[in-house]
Amino acid sequence: MLESIRPTQGECVDVRRAGVLLGLLLTVGCGAATTHPPSPAPSGTAATASAAPPAGPYVALGDSYTSGLQIEPQVGTPPGCARSGVNYPSLVAKALGLAGGAFTDASCSGARTRDLTGAQRTDGGTNAPQLDALAPAIRLVTLGIGGNDAGFIDVIGQCAKESVKQTLLADLTRTPAAESPCRTYYTAENGQDQVQRKVDAAGERLADALREVRRRAPQAKVYVVGYPALLPADAAACTATLGRSVPAGDIAFLVEKERQLNAMLRQRAEAAGVGYVDTFAASAGHDMCAGESTRWVEPPFPAAGLAPVHPNARGQQGMAAAVLRTLGAGGRP
């Protein structure tokens, strides 16, 4: 009886691929493993590209997309923060001629906005509150954070899980798979978008964080750095990377959610009177489904030694270029 509903060889490949995809995505966060202790106002016109690049001292704040998870060389302490010596803050500092005490990278993999004002425990030591690096003398601050607060990588993992379930169900019942099981999952409870609620809540915490940044470094030019494109607008471009097991509707859903996350970051930056660096537009065509020589973000099956669903060295260079263009310092780190 079961023989009559056994998947074809090609279908088995996609089911196995989806299973591997799920396993990888569910172990990936916006950073290394992190544990947290209990969680414990100026505004104005948003800054745009400066006529002259800001001078230091420069402090970089953020999560693993800032720190450069698993990109060699890994530098700084604690090692659990996974800071790369060629992450975008380091490249920006080099381009601006800032070294030594003129540049501090306080970013840490796995960071949430609460880790800006509270200590962050990682598997490789405890990172001091990131905002402790700020002082009235600081003249430039970049902040790349919010994805972990919104649970964005968790959303990707859940989408992979829903895709696996739908693929198996469709194979067993010989019925068409749902067009977007992940969208259904996140709207089924009451018809409201659960992901958008998380993004909105993250925005409230980011607003508080930006007020504190401005209070501690009142003379600094502050820039919120958005997230690069993880997936392409055309779902068909991902077939070779993700297979048929991830529905086109779910790829479109994830692109939509990342756009919403970046839109929130931009809106909160503008409301706080600080600048915004758009790395999403700059990374078009360089998502995880692009070729290995082109992509800025690694796919679930990354190149050796790199972190899945995170920027690679090329991505950090691209993000640095976007920051420098916004600063008015040219477009190449």
Indicate which residue of 84, 90, 283, 310 is catalytic: 310
Q: Is residue 24 a part of any domain in this protein? A: yes
Do the Cβ atoms of 121 and 99 come closer than 8 Å?
no
pLDDT at 172: 64
**Range in 80-89, 133-142, 194-203 with the lowest mean pLDDT:** 194-203
**CATH number of domain containing 217:** 3.40.50.1110
Q: Is residue 309 a part of any domain in this protein? A: yes
Q: Is residue 62 a part of any domain in this protein? A: yes
pLDDT at 27: 40
Check whether 241 has a pLDDT greater than 50. yes
Check whether 4 has a pLDDT greater than 70. no
Beta bridge partners of 275: 223
The total of structural domains in the chain comes to 1
Neighbour count for residue 110 (Cβ, 10 Å): 26
Check whether 45 has a pLDDT greater than 90. no
Mean per-residue pLDDT of the chain: 83
- The pLDDT-based confidence of 164 (bands split at 50, 70, 90) is confident
Q: Is residue 88 a part of any domain in this protein? A: yes
Residue 102, exposed/middle/buried by CB under 10 A (0-12, 13-18, 19+)? middle
- Report CA-CA distances (Å) from 299 to 35, 207, 258, 292, 306: 25, 31, 16, 9, 10
Q: Is residue 306 a part of any domain in this protein? A: yes
- Report CA-CA distances (Å) from 8 to 162, 166, 172, 173, 176: 21, 16, 11, 13, 15
Q: Is residue 310 annotated as a catalytic residue, yes or no?
A: yes
Q: Is residue 293 annotated as a catalytic residue, yes or no?
A: no
pLDDT at 43: 33
- The pLDDT-based confidence of 16 (bands split at 50, 70, 90) is very low
Interatomic CA distance for residues 114 and 34, integer angstroms: 13
- CA-based nearest residue to 296, from 278, 310, 281: 310
Q: Is residue 39 a part of any domain in this protein? A: no
Q: Is residue 38 a part of any domain in this protein? A: no
Interatomic CA distance for residues 233 and 256, integer angstroms: 9
Render pLDDT for 86-145 as a digit per residue (tens, 0 to 9).
999 999 999 999 999 999 999 999 999 999 999 999 999 999 999 999 999 999 999 999
- Report CA-CA distances (Å) from 312 to 84, 128, 192, 247: 10, 26, 35, 26
First to last CA, the chain: 62
Domain that holds residue 254: 2-33+50-327
Check whether 23 has a pLDDT greater than 90. no
Q: Is residue 150 a part of any domain in this protein? A: yes
Indicate which residue of 39, 64, 107, 286 is catalytic: 64
Q: What DSSP assignment string belongs to 232-295?
A: -SSGGGGHHHH-TTS-HHHHHHHHHHHHHHHHHHHHHHHHHT-EEE-HHHHTTT-STTS-TTT-
